[in-house]
Every structure is written in structure tokens, then in C-alpha cells.
Amino acid sequence: MSNTVVVAGVGMTRFFKPSESPRYTELGADAVRMALADAHLDYAAVQQAYVGYVYGDSTCGQRALYGVGMSGIPIVNVNNNCSTGSTALWLARNAIRAGQAECVLALGFEQMQPGALVEHWQDRPGPLDEFVRAATEAAFDPGAPMAPMMFGGAGIEHQKRWGTKDETFAMIRAKASRHAVHNERAIFRKEVSVDDVMASPHVTKLLTRLQCCPPTCGAAAAILCTPEFARRHGIDARVTIAAQAMTTDMPSTFEAHDLMRVVGYDMTAAAARAVYAEAGIGPDDVDVAEMHDCFTANELISYEGLGFCPEGGAEKFIVDGDNSYGGKVVTNPSGGLLSKGHPLGATGLAQCFELTGQLRGQMGPRQVEGARVALQHNLGLGGACVVTLYRAG
């Protein structure tokens, strides 16, 4: 089993508001064509494909890929909530490491509807029933939409424990907007201040509207291959996946009676520890990170879960500017989910697109100078967390 997997090509569409978006078939096919062009490959070179989406009927992956080619390869459809795109990437990497294929495609897309996330099937047990119950029992935000209630409650838990100020959460959104100014694919590119964020309408006691990611449509793709395949095809092999881990919920998710745990803090910490151990490095070695900032509260608690600062140290980390250019680790140079948007199935692969470009030195005004190690954090309630570490050179 080979441990080295090359990121041969990446592609990403613009992200769209639901009212303005093309169909998922067009989005998915466009992202794949971009990734193939980046790798200088024909679709015939792809031996397997893993396709992620959350909202759609079965075999939408085939429907999207048939617009690129019908080559008879295995196509596996993936749904792991907000971590779907990274789950497709995880499966693609594992297929190569297991020797099943030399060149594998991971694609993620989403054609979302306007408004807050909801569970569509009302005639059967919901996968998030226990998560909603835990958030409801905490009683921080009765009547709030499902996801903001959970993540907003996690932020309040952090405040209760460490005294974190409301304005500190708003600083994350302001930072995201400064980064997104330079991302032509992002939905929101206007810079906003902390005061702007605080003045926007409240969705929960803690979170204002600007601290919540928008429903988004879009697609992203990555082609992975072995080093030998890259050499034979003249592929740019500078970026490799050095380590990767997927975790799911543990007893502490509910037994701790702590909404930070309910929304995946322990999954994040466990996946990060596994990745650092596999790569033989630590969080201080990471230059740039794309984090799952579906809400400002999740980015804040994830700084601690990923080891970028000690528990209780997130506020100082933010106030000192250690989460941006000139600090310890540049987080979400793309603008993150808060500014770029969050098309659930595409998000993990959009993170891969950004970090591959960063390690290649191709990201123009938002390039992180000298970036050599990049970390990707993609989390979905229900739950699953995928942490991926990339290296340049």
C-alpha cells in the first residue's frame, strides 16, 4: 500500500445563490472538466469516481458525470452531510492507497434551496433527532432554526466556560470578509467590520445573520493519482496528501451535556491528533488552513480542537491576529463558508481546491507566502469529521 497520493488536478465553479444557480449537472460537469484540464488528462484516464451531494435522488453522481463521459467506471455516490465532499476525497485516497486504482476522481456538488437547512423526510426517524434534542434541552435558543441553534449554543458554552466576548465571534466574520475580497468565486466579497456584523439581525442570542453561512450552489473536483502515474503522464506532483483521518461521534457527544461536543469538537480533536501523528508534525507546522466555519462559533471552537491554540485560548488567538496573514496560521484565505458559501457536497473539495492552489503558489492577492503545509477541516453533523493534511514539494 502506497502512502503517497498526488493531487493531480483540481477544479471549482463559481458559487451561486440558489435563485441564480445553474443545474447540478452543469455545475458538476464543469468542475470535472476544470480538474481534468488542470491535470492535463482525458476523462478516459479516470479509473474510479466518488461523487458527493446531500440534496438529490440516488445516482445523481452518474447523471452529472455522464455529461463528461460514459466510460463504464465504478461511480460511488456519497452523502455524509456537510463533510460529504471530504468523505469523497477520503474514499478516493483510500482507493489509491489500497492499490485498487492509479487515478481516481472525487467530485462534490450541491444545488440547494433557499432558507435554513431542514430534514426533508418527516415520516421516519431523523438522523439528527438526538442532536436537536440535546440543543433543545440546553434551552439557549428555543425556536431558532436547527443548525444555528446547535452551533450558537456551542458558542454560548464556550462563553460560559472561558468568558469569550460576543465581539470576538464577530471578528471571525470580519476576517473572513477581508479574505474573500480577493476570491472571485465567493458569493460575498464585500468587506464588513465587526460593527457591521454585530448590527446585522440576530438569528440566535449569540449569532447574527452575518455569522451564518448562506445556502449555496456550486461544485468542485479533485483528481488524485499515484506518483508513478503522475510521472508517466507528466503531471505536476508538487502537492500530496500527507495524512488524512475521518472520525465519527463518540459517547462524549451526548454524555458530556456540552453543545461544543454535540457539534463535533471531540471528532475534530481526534481527527487532528490522528493526522498530526501520521504526518509526524504538529499544529505549529501548519501554514494555512481551510476550516469548517459554517458559523463563527464553529471556527472559534475548532481553533482549539485543531490545536492551533490551547483550550480557552481562542479569544487571544483571534484578538492577536494569529488566524490571518502575518499570524501563526492563515485560516480560510478563501473567505471560508461564511463568505464563499457552503454548497454541502462541494465544500470539502472546494477546500482542497484552495489549499492545492496555495501550496502551488497560484492564489494571487490571497496567496499565503511560503506556504508548505496546509490543513483542511470539514465537519458534518450526524456526524463525521474529515481532517486532511497537504504538503508541497
Q: Return contacts of 167-170, CB within 8 angstroms, 24+ apart.
A: 167/194, 167/198, 168/300, 168/314, 168/315, 168/318, 168/319, 169/206, 169/207, 169/211, 169/296, 169/297, 169/300, 170/194, 170/197, 170/198, 170/208, 170/210, 170/211, 170/296
Supply the DSSP string of 355-386, one letter for each residue: HHHHHHT--GGG--TT--EEEEEEEETTTEEE
Q: Which residues pair with 241 in a beta bridge?
A: 5, 390
Whole-angstrom distance, CA of residue 110 vs CA of residue 71: 23
The answer to whether 178 touches 366, Cβ cutoff 8 Å, is no
Which is the catalytic residue, given 60, 82, 103, 212? 82
Whole-angstrom distance, CA of residue 150 vs CA of residue 66: 38
DSSP H or E stretch at residue 158 = helix 146-162
User: Strand, coil or helix: what is 130?
Assistant: helix
The CA-CA-CA angle for residues 367, 310, 240, to 5°, reads 40
State the DSSP code for 284.
G
Supply the DSSP string of 181-242, one letter for each residue: TT-TT-S------HHHHHHSPBSSSS-BGGGBPPB-BEEEEEEEE-HHHHHHHT----EEEE
Residue 103: active-site member: no
Residues noted as catalytic: 82
